[in-house]
Each structure stands twice: as structure tokens, then as C-alpha cells.
Chain A
């Protein structure tokens, strides 16, 4: 039902998420933001079960900020991803697991851009591109075909648009808009929302 996508370039990461908050057959909200800012250069995209997403993402967000307050420096994307995974794994083995699928995207001074794929069973994988949701089945092959490690920002944007057009064309659910963000050495940038138009 929901969709997340991330594409890593040479010195940036491009991420997008749909904007629908749905309950059974009704769209309760059409401008829901599923991207959570963990720090200046780390974003967490979170989809999954209704209340779990916001609760878990905010929990991670506040703890990352707390770490910064207590220690004076921010966690790197790798550390943040592993921290998130560890929390997800611990909750998975408790009586109250969180059913969430995540993408964590960040830019590190030394290591460069990084995109981490995490699923509800707390598997963690660093990947050059990733997607979550039913839409992933339709778009991963597009990413496989056209992705190159040396994509420029515009090329990555075109690839993202290709994926969203495919969803618009083939996916049974209507996802009317997507929020897009870009992370690079200068931090997080909000890009224009992508709104696929017209039936094909």
C-alpha cells in the first residue's frame, strides 16, 4: 500500500515516499510525511503498521538527538542504522514488536553517501538502491536496469520519475503524490513533490 524508494549516487542520496495515510479502504490523509529527520544529514523513511511507524521513528529520532546532546557529536549514518536495527531486533524479540519497514539515508564526511535497507525482521543491508512496499515489486527491475553508481543528480531524478510513472501505470492503488528529499554534503534538501498525472 505504501511506497518508499532510495537511490544512492556518488555524492548524494535521493529518497522519496508516498503521502497517503490510509485506513482500510479510506485515505485518511493525503499529505502525510513519512520522512523523519534524524539529524542534519540523516533521514529515516518509515512505513508499516499504523501506529508503529510514527512511534518507532520518533523514538529513534529522539534518541539520536539525545546522543548528540549527551556526547556533543552526531552519530554517523552507519552507527544510526545499526542502532535502529538493534532496537528493532530487540523489540522483535519482546512481547510488543514493531512492524515497520525502513530506509535510512545519510551522508557521512568520511564515508560519503549511504543508503540502508531495513525490514520488519530487522535485517539490515547497505544498498545502492532500495524500495519498500508493493510498489517495490514493480520498480526494482527498473532500478536494476538503469542504475549506475556514477549517476548525477538529474539522472537519479529521472530514474525516480521513471519508477513513479511505472507505479502510476501499473499499481492498482492510486498514490497521488510523493515527497522527495536529497541528502548531500550540504545537508538535507526538500525537493518538489512529484505528482504523477493522467492515466496511461
Chain B
């Protein structure tokens, strides 16, 4: 993809759609945009358009010509009780069943963001892969948990990663989590009504903003986190939030920026209240290929999500400590995999703090099942002993 961009290879008839002013003001359609060609040149957008070929939506796919059954969009929307993971009746017959079932969850608490997911990739009754990875890191402070069609998720995660990196290179600062969610949502919107099925939660930590009013006297450089990961901490005032140590976390062997646990200067984050609405701090967004984009503090997505919600809704609190949060996430995924046929095998747990994300070893849920059985047996013995007394 990068090579394609650099070489300016335009291989699809649809590419003009993304670069035309219509795309910049709205989705495809014969609407006359608010800006016409004359204005575009006046504003210098003509230059903008040609130099930044990708405008804002740089997609070079071949999009199949619209089916004659396009009007289905209008009526199928009211089938609101259609299953969570499958899309409404497709216009064309799929050549093979797509994989959908999954359980992913993420929530925010005082120690950051926990993201957890199972590892079963199912394909309507067959376990296609028992060790899929559904939580994909984009950069050191952003993870995507994916659900829906496996191929779509993989592709769109890569596209999102590319766009975030391009933004960083063009603007010299990292795109915020809110911006990343909006970017993904706007990129997915034109594919609404097609078979693209992506339901992702973006979990991350915004280290960017410096609250100027708190630092009136001090000159604190605006953090271009990620711009130069090799800046030594001694050069700038480092104020770290109080983070619980993550001894149990293992280093991830993926991207370089993820492995380096660079310390970023962060503002004093008030840990006594939930800062999700603030510009800095933990963030959680749910983005779906039907266009939904929601910010929240707890999301679970996939066929196993109702079971996970059942466990999480009663227990998730802002004041959890790290161990409790991780074991809660593990249990929620375990319960969902116990009940949902399309989720299972292992659980991946990730924890994001101001220092970046940290990945735990993959855990087999079979062991959790055995541990629970022992717990139940032990409890049964204790109760019978008490009854005897």
C-alpha cells in the first residue's frame, strides 16, 4: 500500500470519487456539494488535492459496481432484531460463509484501559482457527479489538494504521484517539450497505494534550508523542501518573514503538474521577461499519457480548485495581466462551496505561474452566462441612 501511494498508482476507476470535492463534503451521491470547483481553487484546495493525493479518504480499492438490488438498503434496516454479528440479507450470495462469532470487550478504569478477547475464529460451525489474534496494536498507545468479518477487520486495521502514521508524518504529531475513531468511521461510511462487517473498539490513551492553564509558568513542550521516541526523559519534566506496576506483563514482540516503553511527559491526571471526557487520558470508542461511533467506558462486541455484559455490568467500577480489572476481564470472556459456541479457546488480555500498552501471555480458558470447577468443589465441601457442624 505504501509503495502504491508513493508511486501514485491509480488503478481503480473509483479513485476519483475519493479525491473529488464531493467526497470531501459527503458520501457518494449526486448531491451538489457546498463548495464547487471554483471555490476549491480559490481556497487552494486544488493544490491540496493534487499534492495530497489522498485528500482525507485514500482508498484504492476496486469497489464492485452497485448491484441492482441497491434499494434493499431502505427496507432491511428495520430488521432491528437481526443478530449482532451478521449483516442484513446480502445482495449477492457469498462464495463461502464469513467468520463472525467472537467475544471482545474493553473497559476504562483508574489504571487505564483493559482490552480482552477470545481467540476463536469460527466459520459457521467450523473453528477455522483456534488461535486468532483479535486485538491488534496500532501504535504504542492504541489498540483495536476487532469483531465481524475477519478479513475485513484485518484490512481495515492496516488501513487505519497507515492513515494514522501518515497523519503523524504530515502533521508532526500523533492523531488523538478521538480523531482516529472519527477517521475510521468516516472511512467505513461509504461502504455502508455492502457486506463489509467491521465492529471495532479503539482502546487507547491520549498523551498529547497539555492543559495550558495548569502550566502557565512552566514551558512544557507540546508532546509529539511518537514523533521522536528516543528523546531521553531527562530533557523534559517528567510527571508520571501513579500507575500500578505491571510485573506480570510480558513484552510484545511486534512493532518497535510498542516494545519501547518510552516514558512520556503527562499532565497530572486526576485519578479520583473518571477523565474519559477530558482530552487527555484513557479513551474507548466503538466504531462499526454501519457508521456508528460511540465513546464510552465499557463496550463488549460480538456474538458472546451479551454474556460478557452480564458479568461486567455488575462489577466494573472506576476504582478497580489492575489485578481485579484483569481477572474481571478474564472471567467475562470465560463466561462468554462458556455459553457462546462461536467464542472459545484462549483469551488475550491487554492493558493500556499512559506508558503504552502491555500484553499478557495468552491464557487457555480450559485451565480457567478447571480452576472454576475446583473452586465449586471446594465451596461445596466447605458448605457441607458447615452443615455438619
Chain A residues, CB < 8 A from B293: 51, 54
Known: A21-B294, A55-B291, A66-B34. A26 touches B80 (CB 8 A): no
Chain B residues, CB < 8 A from A29: 294, 296
Interface hit among B81-89, B131-139, B336-344: B81-89
Chain B residues, CB < 8 A from A90: 29-32
Q: Are A50 and B292 in contact (CB under 8 A)?
A: yes
Chain B residues, CB < 8 A from A49: 77, 290-291
Q: Are A95 and B291 in contact (CB under 8 A)?
A: no
Known: A21-B292, A51-B189. A96 touches B77 (CB 8 A): no
B178 to chain A, nearest CB (A): 13
Q: How far is the CA of A55 from the CA of B84 in the complex (A)?
A: 21
Q: How far is the CA of A63 from the CA of B32 in the complex (A)?
A: 13
Q: How far is the CA of A66 from the CA of B33 in the complex (A)?
A: 12
Q: How far is the CA of A23 from the CA of B302 in the complex (A)?
A: 11
Chain A residues, CB < 8 A from B97: none
Interface residues of A in 46-101 (CB under 8 A from B): 49-52, 54-55, 59, 63, 66-67, 87, 90-91, 93-97, 99
A99 to chain B, nearest CB (A): 6
Q: Are A28 and B299 in contact (CB under 8 A)?
A: yes
Q: Check A110 for interface membership: any CB of B closer than 8 A.
A: no
Q: How far is the CA of A97 from the CA of B28 in the complex (A)?
A: 10
Known: A1-B80, A25-B306. A96 touches B29 (CB 8 A): yes
Chain B residues, CB < 8 A from A91: 26, 29, 31
Q: Are A97 and B73 in contact (CB under 8 A)?
A: yes
Q: How far is the CA of A143 from the CA of B165 in the complex (A)?
A: 53
Q: Check B309 for interface membership: any CB of A closer than 8 A.
A: yes
Count of chain A residues near B, Cβ 8 A: 28
Q: Check B168 for interface membership: any CB of A closer than 8 A.
A: no
> Which of A26, A52, A55, A94 contacts B306, CB < 8 Å?
A26
Known: A1-B80, A24-B80. A95 touches B66 (CB 8 A): yes
Q: Check B267 for interface membership: any CB of A closer than 8 A.
A: no
Chain B residues, CB < 8 A from A51: 185, 189, 192, 288, 290-293
Q: Check B3 for interface membership: any CB of A closer than 8 A.
A: no
A179 to chain B, nearest CB (A): 15
Contact mask for chain B residues 260-278; partner A; CB cutoff 8 A; 1 contact, 0 none: 0000000000000000000
| Residue with the highest number of chain B CB atoms closer than 10 Å, among A54, A59, A87, A96 | A96
Q: Check B148 for interface membership: any CB of A closer than 8 A.
A: no
Q: Are A96 and B309 in contact (CB under 8 A)?
A: no
A65 to chain B, nearest CB (A): 11
Q: Are B28 and A95 in contact (CB under 8 A)?
A: yes
Chain A residues, CB < 8 A from B82: 24
A169 to chain B, nearest CB (A): 23
Contact mask for chain B residues 156-198; partner A; CB cutoff 8 A; 1 contact, 0 none: 0000000000000000000000000000011001101100000
Interface residues of B in 32-78 (CB under 8 A from A): 32, 34, 66, 70, 73-74, 77
Q: How far is the CA of A63 from the CA of B29 in the complex (A)?
A: 17
B89 to chain A, nearest CB (A): 15
Smallest CB-CB separation from B29: which chain A residue?
Answer: A94
Show the binding face of A for B, using Cβ within 8 Å. 1, 21, 23-26, 28-29, 32, 49-52, 54-55, 59, 63, 66-67, 87, 90-91, 93-97, 99
Extra pairs beyond A26-B306, A29-B294 (11, CB < 8 Å) = A24-B81, A24-B84, A50-B290, A55-B189, A55-B291, A63-B34, A67-B34, A94-B28, A96-B190, A96-B193, A97-B73
What are 19 residue pairs bridging A and B, where the CB atoms are less than 8 Å apart in the complex? A1-B80, A21-B294, A24-B84, A26-B306, A50-B288, A59-B26, A66-B34, A90-B30, A90-B32, A93-B30, A94-B28, A94-B30, A96-B27, A96-B28, A96-B29, A96-B73, A96-B190, A97-B73, A99-B77
For the complex of A and B, the 4 pairs showing the least CB-CB separation, nearest first, are: A51-B291, A94-B29, A90-B31, A50-B292
Show the binding face of B for A, using Cβ within 8 Å. 25-32, 34, 66, 70, 73-74, 77, 80-84, 185-186, 189-190, 192-193, 286, 288, 290-294, 296, 299, 305-306, 309
